Chain A
Amino acid sequence: MAEQAMRPQMMGARVARVEDPRLLTGQARFLDDIQVPGMLELAFVRSPYAAARILDIDTGKARKLPGVHDVLTFSDCPYRLWQRTEYQVGQPALADGGVFYVGEPVVAVVADNRYLAEDAAEAVRITYEPLTPVLEMRAAILEEPRRVHAGAENVFFHRSHRTPGFEQAFADAPLHLTATFRLNRQTAVSIEPRGTAALPDPASGRITVYASTQSPHRMRSDFSEIMEIPEHLLRIVVPEVGGGFGMKANTYPEDLVVVAAAIKLRRPVKWVSDRMESLLADVHARDDIHDVEVAFEPSGRIVAVRDHLMADGGAYPAYPFSGAVGETSLAARVLTGPYHIPHLATEIDCTYSNKMPLGAYRGVWGPVASFIQEGIVDRVARRLAKDPAEVRRVNMIRPEQFPYRNAAGAVYDPGSYGESLERALDLIGYEERRRLQRLARESGRYLGIGISAFVEPTAMASSEAGSIGYEACSLRIEPTGKVTAAMGLGPTGQGHETTMAQVIADQIGVDLQDIVVLHGDTDSAPFGGGTGGSRSGPIGGGAALVAGRQMGERLKTYAAHMLEASFDDIELGNGKAWVTGVPSRSVSIREIAEIAYTDVKRIPPGLPIGLELVARYLPTRSVSFSNGTHIAVVEVDPPTGLVSVIDYAVVNDCGQLINPTIVEGQIHGGVAQGVGAAILEALRYDDDGQLTTTSLMDYLLPQATDVPRMQIAHLVTPADGEGGMKGMGEGSLIASPAAIANAISDALEPFGVLVDTLPVTPRDIIRWTAQSGF
C-alpha cells in the first residue's frame, strides 16, 4: 500500500496541460511566426467564376511590379492531386485551362511581402469564358444542367446496401413515415487558418516544409509521390497548430504550389491563408440530402429504415479522401446509431458540382447520421404521441446484445447505451423539465428538450487522417534519466504532450515533468498516421503505452540485475526502481541510464546499449465505438425566430479516460461547434455559384455567450485494446446538432414543427410559425 502511494497514477488524473502556459501567454509559435531571412510571400489569384474556360492568362504587368519575384501558372507547377484513378479527375495545383469553383487557385504570385503579392495578383489579367455552373445535387445526379467534368459522370461514387429480407420487413410493418433531411455546407473555421512555408536548404539539398497540418508523414509522402521529391530530402515540421478539426488533414493545391515556388526560386516561400481564403478554399463539409423512409410498430419499435444518401462533393475529390464519400458511406454504416433496428437499405450518390471540394470536419459522417437517426426517433415519437425518451428506451441496444452487429454490418464493442440515456435524463432533471415546459407554454413561452443518444466510431484502423491503422512511439531515456518520446501525431490543440506523457509516466515510473513528447517533425518522429478520426488517444495512446511498457521492462531487467532480485519483484515509480516490500533496496533510473550509456560493461547480459526503442501499436479491432447521450434545453422565441440553448447535459463513455479535464474540454468545444452547426453556420452559394459567406460577418460562429453551461458525467466501459481507451474527439459534435435540432422541434411542437434542415435559422422559424397568429 505504501508503495502504491509512492506511485501517483497519471492515467485518469486531471493533470494541467503542459501546453497551456505557452499558449496562454502568447509564446506559442504558429506557422505565421516562421520568419527567416530572405523569405518571400505568396498570394493566389483565385477563380471568380464557378465554372469557366480559361482563354488567356496575361502575367506581364504583374511581373513588372516592384518586389515581384515570380508569377506561377500550371506549367510551373504541373502537378495533380489524385494521380491514382479512383475518381477519374484530380485537381491541378493551379488551374489547367479551366476553373471549377469560385476560389480555385489559378495563378500564384511570389513577392517580397503579402501586400506587394496582392497588388501583383490584382494585375494578373485572366480571360474567362463562363459556363453554366452545376450547383444542385438532385439535378447533378441526372447530369443536369451538364457534366461538371466532361470526362466523368457527375455521380462519382455510388453504393447500395440492403439487409436480406428488407422489402418484406418494410412492407409488413404496420406504420410508415417519410422525411427528407438537409444539412447545409459548413466548414471548420480553425482560429489559425491554413498555411505552408517551404525552406530549401542549398547546403544539404533538403527542403523543410513547415505546415499547419494534422498529418505530417502523410504530407511528406504526398510531396514525395506527387512532386517526385525523394522522401529523405523532405522534412515536414508542424509548428503549433490553432485548430484543424479534420480540415487540416488534407494536402491542398496551395501546399504543392508553395513547395514548387520555393524550389524554383531557391528561396524560402510562405503562404498564410487569410479568412476569406479560408472560407472559400478550406475543405467544406456537410452538404447532404437524405430521403428517408421508416417502418415502425405502434410500440415505437423501429423495424426498417431506407435512406437515399446524397452528398455534394464539390468540384474535385479532396486529397487524399473525399469528404462526400466519408460523410455518406460511413454514415450509412452507423445510421441506426445506438438502436437495434434490424433492417436497413441505403443507396448512396456522391456528386460533383461547381463548389469547393468537400473534406472532413469533426465527426464527418457522425453528425450526419445522428441528425438523421435522432430525427427519425423523434418523428416516430411524435406520430405515436409518445415521450421521445420512451421511444429511445424501446429501441436501444441492450447490454446482452454486445458485441452487436448493426444492420450495416458494423460491430459495436460494449458500451453503456441505455445507462447513458438514463443518466443524462437524471442529470437534466427530465420530468421536472417537462413540467416547466408545460408551465412555460401556458404563459406563451416555448421551451424544448432534445435528446441525442449517439455512437462514435473511433480509432479506425484506417482513418481519414492517414491510411495507416497503427501509431508509433519512439522512446528514449537520456543519459541523465530524462525522457524523450516522439510520435507522428499532428495535434491541433488536443494536449497530446500532456496525455501521452501521462501514459508513459505510469509505465516507466518517472515524473511528468521529466518527459517531453515531440511530435509533428518527420525528422524526429517515427512514421505515423497523424491526428484525426479520434485515433490519437486510443491508437497513439496505445503506442505510447506499449513503448512505455517495453521500456519499463528493460528498466526492471536492469534493476533486477543490479539489486539481485527477481524481475517480478521490481517496481517502478518516482524515478526509481525498487524491490517490492523493500523500498530501501532501490536504484534510480538516472543510475540505470548512466550504465546504459556510459558504463556499458555493467549492462545486464542480453540488453542492448542505450535506452531507446520504437513501439508500434495496431488495434485488433477495426473500430471501437464510444457512446453517450446529450440533452439540450432550448427556448425559442417564435416572433423573432431566435433560439437560445439554455441548459445542456452530456453523459459520455469513451472507455478509460487519460485525462478527464482534457476530455471535458473536447466536449465543451464540440458542443460549441454543435450550437454553430444547429443554428448559425452555413456556407451559401448563390445561383451563379458565388459563395456569399466569405467573412465572419456572414458565416456566423457561436460566441461564448451562445454556448450553454454544461453538466458532464462520465461512464467508463473500457475498450479491449491497449489501455482500454476509446476515442472521443468527435462525439460531442456528433451528438450536439441533433440534440439542439430535436429541442427546437420539441419547443415548436404546438406548431407541428419537426426540424429537417441544419442550421435552423430565424427565417425558418418565422416561416414555420408566423401564420399561426403571431
Chain B
Amino acid sequence: MKPAAFEYFRASNAVQAVGLLQQYREAKILAGGQSLVPLMNFRLSRPSALVDISGITELARIVPTAHGLRLGALVRHQDLVDNPMVRETIPVLAEAAAHIGHWAVRNRGTVGGSLAHADPAAELPAVMVALGADIVVMDAEGERKIPARAFFVGFYTTTLGSDALIVAIEMPRPREPVGFYEVVRRHGDFALAGALVEAGESTGAVTWFGVTPAPVRMAWTALAEDEGLRRQQWERLTRDLDFAGDEAFRRPLAVTVAERAYQRARGGH
C-alpha cells in the first residue's frame, strides 16, 4: 500500500496549475487527497505528477452572488457544514455535507475534489444536480461553465477534461423546500441510496444518488397526497433508472429514500 513514484508540484495560482496539467500529461490535481491518495496507495491510480492546489487560498472562498453562492473549488466539506451563509442560503447543502465521511475527512475533502471524483454515491454531486449548479472550470482556453446536469456521465466519469481545473461552483438559492435523505450502513459511509426532493406546491423533482452510475434528476407535475399512491408514483419514476443489475435491492431503497426525502422537504422528520 505504497504509491508508485510521482513528481510533486505545489501550484500558487489556478493559471499555473492549469499550465502544469498541460505540461505533464499524466498529471493529476491534488486537493484534499481523500479520494486520490487511497487510490494511489492501492496503485489503482498512478499519476506521473501531482499538482497540489491546496495552497491557492483564493479557491477556498465562499462568496454571495445575486442568485445564491459561489463556492471556490477548495472549500472544505466541513466549511459547508459550519458556514453561516451556506446554512442560511442553501441549508440542504450544509445538511448533505454533514453526511460526508467523518470530521477528519470533511476537514480535508473539498467540493471540487468531490465533483471531479464523481463517486456515484457521493452527496455533493447530487446536490449540484438537484439545485442546477454551474461548475466553473479552467483550461488552456480559459474559463467556462458546465451545468452540473451535463457534468456527471457515469461511474467516476465527468465531462471535465483531464487538463481542466474546477475553480468554483455557482449555486442558485433553492426556490422550493428541499429534503435530503440517505441510507448508510454505518455513520459516515458512502450511501447505499440517497435522494434530494424539491417539493413545490404542485411540481417538484427528485434527484437520486447511490443507486445509479451518476445522480439522476426526475421532475413531476403532480404528486399524490396519499402515501400509498405516492409510493406508486416513486415506483413509476424509478422504472427509468439504470440500477446497474441490482434492481431487486436498489429499487425498493430508491422508493424509500425518495419518500423520506419528500417527507423531510414537507417539514417531517
Residues of A within 8 A of B (CB): 114-115, 118-119, 122, 274-276, 639-642, 680, 695, 697, 700, 702-703, 705-706, 762-763, 766-767, 770, 774
Contact = CB atoms under 8 A, between A and B. Distances in A.
Contacts of A774: 252, 256
Given A703-B186, A703-B188, A766 B4 contact: no
B183 A642 contact: yes
A762 B192 contact: yes
Contact of B185 (A115, A680, A766): A680
B186 A700 contact: yes
B183 A640 contact: yes
Interface string B17-52: 000000000000000000000100011000000000
A192 to B, nearest CB: 15
Contact of B1 (A275, A639, A640, A702): A275
Contacts of A706: 186-187
A235 B5 CA distance: 37
A527 B5 CA distance: 47
A194 to B, nearest CB: 14
A276 B1 CA distance: 8
Given A639-B252, A762-B185, A766-B252, A276 B42 contact: yes
B8 interface: no
Give 5 nearest A-B pairs by CB, closest first: A274-B1, A639-B256, A640-B183, A115-B2, A118-B2
A55 to B, nearest CB: 24
A276 B252 CA distance: 33
A700 B185 contact: yes
A642 B2 contact: no
12 contacts: A118-B1, A118-B43, A122-B4, A274-B1, A276-B1, A640-B192, A695-B38, A700-B185, A700-B186, A762-B183, A766-B253, A770-B248
B260 to A, nearest CB: 8
Contact of A119 (B4, B38, B248, B249): B4
Nearest to B184: A642
A114 B2 contact: yes
A274 B1 CA distance: 6
Given A639-B256, A703-B186, A703-B188, A763 B2 contact: no
Contacts of B187: 703, 705-706
Given A639-B256, A702-B186, 8 more contacts: A639-B252, A641-B253, A695-B42, A700-B186, A703-B187, A705-B186, A762-B192, A762-B249
A642 B252 contact: no
A702 B5 CA distance: 34
A640 B43 CA distance: 34
B196 to A, nearest CB: 17
Nearest to B185: A700
A623 to B, nearest CB: 37
Interface in B244-259: 248-249, 252-253, 256
Contacts, number: 55
Nearest to A639: B256
Contacts of A767: 248-249
A486 to B, nearest CB: 37
Contact count band on B: 20 to 34
Contacts of B38: 695
Contacts of A640: 183, 192, 253, 256
B209 to A, nearest CB: 15
A274 B187 CA distance: 25
Contacts of A695: 38, 42
Contacts of A275: 1
Interface in B173-206: 183, 185-190, 192
B249 A766 contact: yes
Contacts of A114: 2
B186 A763 contact: no
A274 B252 CA distance: 38
B252 A763 contact: no
B262 to A, nearest CB: 14
B185 A642 contact: yes
Contacts of A705: 186-187
A703 B4 CA distance: 31
A639 B1 CA distance: 38
Among B1, B5, B42, B183: residue with most chain A CB under 10 A:
B1
A122 B43 contact: yes
B249 A763 contact: yes
A283 to B, nearest CB: 20
A115 B190 CA distance: 30
A276 B253 CA distance: 30
A398 to B, nearest CB: 42
A168 B256 CA distance: 52
Nearest to A276: B1
A697 B190 CA distance: 9
Nearest to B256: A639
Contacts of B5: 115, 119
Nearest to A643: B185
Contacts of A274: 1
A122 B185 CA distance: 35
Contacts of B1: 118, 274-276
Contacts of B186: 680, 700, 702-703, 705-706
Contacts of B190: 697
A680 B190 CA distance: 15
A763 B249 CA distance: 6
A665 B185 CA distance: 25
Most buried by B among A115, A275, A641: A641
A770 B192 contact: no
Contacts of A122: 4, 43
A642 B256 CA distance: 12
A713 B146 CA distance: 62
**Most A C-beta atoms less than 10 A away, residue of B192, B248, B252:** B252
Interface string B87-127: 00000000000000000000000000000000000000000
Nearest to B102: A703
Nearest to B188: A703
Contacts of A763: 249
Interface in B217-269: 248-249, 252-253, 256
B254 to A, nearest CB: 11
Contacts of B253: 639-641, 762, 766
Contacts of A762: 183, 185, 192, 249, 253
Interface in B134-189: 183, 185-189
B34 to A, nearest CB: 12
Nearest to A115: B2
A643 B1 CA distance: 33
A401 B224 CA distance: 65
A119 B2 CA distance: 9
A680 B189 CA distance: 12
Contacts of B4: 119, 122
Nearest to A769: B252
Nearest to A703: B186
A251 to B, nearest CB: 24
A676 to B, nearest CB: 10
A211 B236 CA distance: 59
Contacts of B42: 276, 695
Contacts of A697: 190
Contacts of A702: 186
A766 B248 CA distance: 9
